[in-house]
Amino acid sequence: MSDTLYSARFRGPTLIEQNKSQTVSVALEKGGSAPTVASAKFYLYDSGGNLIIDGQTATESGGTVSGTVAAGDTSGKTLGPSWLVRFDVVIGGKTYRFNNDACLCVARLYPPIGQTDLVNRHSDVANLLASGVTSCQQYIDDAWSDVTNRMYSEQSYFWRLRTPSAFRNVMFARSLALIFRDYATLLNAGDRYMQLSDYYEQQYERAYSKLRSRIDSDEDNQLSDRQQSVPAVTYLTPLSFRRNRSRRNY
């Protein structure tokens, strides 16, 4: 029996772009260190539970295990959630199975802000980084994961949104809340940074509630004729996929 609890650091649902060659990965960790991986296999299942990639030999580097999806693997497949990625990884003579929810999409959505934008809002944020931290990117990445995972848990399929700039205020607020929360534990500045963190946490909730975007609900490059309130949209799956999903045997 596999008795060691490893961290499989999936940052959210695995997004797979249709008709595109790409790498799917998971970072494994225990106690802040990468485990010694003897071998690994990669599997991919579509939304109907059909095996698309069967036991492909996966690669490993520094604890990150990766499999490859070829462009032809997803050709003609139904877009949407309920796909599954799986890694069977041998560590210390035992096989560990790491699964993650996956989604087949036409295109990814990317964060609309970078460190330059954060510095434009607070000129000192990059100067106060902890020793060994070279940029604010980790906070941006964590904020993006927080925002998109929240949307996904509410069944708002964020990869179908087509107004990335609509996320600017949400991302500014979430990133700065994380940054100043961290600074509050690192720097002796009274309650200044904690107050800033609390302020931006409130701004984040306000900005999230007002988030609006044009949506490509069928992923056919036809956008909604007006911006829609994203938190109010609870199901963006096209009708054809819903019908297909209802026939799936679980």
pLDDT of residue 131: 84
Q: Is residue 250 part of a domain?
A: no
Residue the block writes with tokens 């927080």:
146
CATH number at residue 26: 2.60.40.1220
Q: pLDDT (tens digit, 9 = 90+) per residue, 173-232?
A: 999 999 999 998 887 666 889 999 999 999 999 999 999 999 998 999 999 888 888 876
Reading the block at residue 88, the tokens are: 């069977």
**Which of 57, 74, 105 finishes a domain?**
105
Q: Is residue 97 part of a domain?
A: yes
Q: Is residue 65 part of a domain?
A: yes
Q: Is residue 152 part of a domain?
A: yes
Q: Is residue 244 part of a domain?
A: no
Pair 146, 49 in one domain: no
Pair 81, 155 in one domain: no
Pair 121, 182 in one domain: yes
What is the domain count for the chain? 2
pLDDT of residue 107: 94
Range of the structural domain that residue 30 is part of:
7-105
Q: pLDDT (tens digit, 9 = 90+) per residue, 106-130?
A: 999 999 999 999 999 999 898 888 8
pTM of the model: 0.87
Pair 93, 37 in one domain: yes
Distance CA 3, CA 226 (A): 52
